[in-house]
Amino acid sequence: MAPSRKFLIHALITLVILGGLGVLGAAIVVLTGVYNVAAIYQHTWPVYEMLDFALDRSVSARLGGIAAPPLDDPLLAERGFRIYRDKCAQCHGAPGVPPDDAGKGMLPLPNNLAQTAREKSAEYIYWVVANGIRMTGMPAWQYRLDEEELWAVVAFVERLPEFSPKEYAEWDRKIGGR
C-alpha cells in the first residue's frame, strides 16, 4: 500500500524540524567555541573517524585517469630520495631520522610514510603529493615539482617499507648534496 498523503506531509515536516535542530546544534557548537581547535588535543573519536574516512573517499574518488609509470628504476628512486630528504623528512621523518620540531608539533601528525606505502596505491600517494590536503598542513607540490619529480618521490616513498636507518644514512652519504 502506498503511504498516505498525510503520512508524507508529516514525514516531511519531521525532516525539516530535525534538519533545523541540526543546524541550530551546529551553530551553538560554533558560536560558543566549545570545540577546541588546539593542536595538542586529538579530535574526538567520532570526528577523527569521520574525517579519516572522508579523506580516503575524497582522494579515492579523484584517482581516475592517473596511472603510475614504472617506478622500479633505481635512478628514479635516488632522485626521489633527494626530494624526500629536502622537502618531506622535516615533517614525515625518515628511517632513523625523526621529524623536525615543527613536524612533531603538528596535528594531524604527519604520517609515517612507510605505513602509507604499505596501505595505499602509488596513484593515491601521487595524488596527495601533487594536491596536498587542505587544513592539515600537507602542502601541494604540483607547482614546485614537475611531473617526473612527483613520480620520483612516489618511487622513493614506495621503497620506504624496506629501507633501514643504516641504508638511509648510506644513501645520504652516497648521494650527498647532488
Site string for ligand HEC, 44-73 (x = CB under 6 A): -----------x------------------
Q: Which of 106, 130, 140, 169 binds ligand HEC (CB under 6 A)?
A: 106
* 160 lies in the site for ligand HEC, by CB under 6 A: no
- Cα angle: 109, vertex 110, 112; to 5 degrees: 110
* Interaction between residue 88 and ligand HEC (CB under 6 A): yes
What residues contact 129, with CB distance under 8 A and at least 6 apart? Answer: 141, 145, 150, 153, 154
Contact 112, 93 (CB under 8 A): yes
Question: Contacting ligand HEC (CB under 6 A), which of 87, 97, 142, 172?
Answer: 87
Q: Nine-digit cell at 42?
A: 586529538
Contact status, residue 140 vs residue 132, Cβ threshold 8 Å: yes
Which amino acid belongs to residue 115?
A: Q
Binding site for ligand HEC (CB under 6 A): 55, 83, 87-88, 90-92, 103, 106, 108, 110-111, 113, 116, 120, 125, 128-129, 133, 136-139, 141, 153, 157
